[in-house]
Amino acid sequence: MSAILNPYLNFRGDARSALEFYKEVFGGDLTVGTFAEFGMPVDPAEADQVMHGQLTTASGFTLMASDVPAAMPWRQGDNAFSVSLSGDSADELTGYWERLAEGAEIQEPLAEAPWGDLFGMLRDRFGVSWLVNVAGGGGSAA
């Protein structure tokens, strides 16, 4: 069996909304399990929050996420990591960029970079940092 590396994002009560948004962006199949469904002891107000969610797309992406219960420490927005999308499919990647950009803070517009690719950076509406690089993209993007 081969090894797989994929992002596992943590939220404080927003995991379901974030996963549904990413499903709109990338398409695919979304499964969500709550703390109650897994029988986990959490504050009753958090029982319906996401213990584990997974989005699997036709492009081969797997994105996982969960909510961090209030009893556990959690920090958001310290920009400790970014999720990177890259490849040579300009239409596909530009489409992802446009959908991720809805309600996002654009840190670097998707445009020709010094290395000749289209490149952009944003922090989406859920505080997740994304890097998008279209190999050999050239020119400017929408």
Q: Which CATH architecture has domain 8-67?
A: Roll (3.10)
Q: What is the pTM of this model?
A: 0.82
**Fold (topology level) of 83-134:** 3.30.720
User: Does the fold of domain 83-134 match that of domain 8-67?
Assistant: no
Q: Is 74 exposed, middle or buried (0-12, 13-18, 19+ CB in 10 A)?
A: exposed
**Average pLDDT over the chain, rounded to whole?**
87
Q: Where are the domains of the chain?
A: 8-67, 83-134
Tens digits of residue pLDDT in 47-72: 999 989 999 999 999 999 999 888 88
Q: Per-residue pLDDT for 76 more than 80?
A: no
| Cα–Cα dist 33/117, whole Å | 39
Structure tokens at 120: 């952009």
Report percent pLDDT > 70 for the chain.
Answer: 90
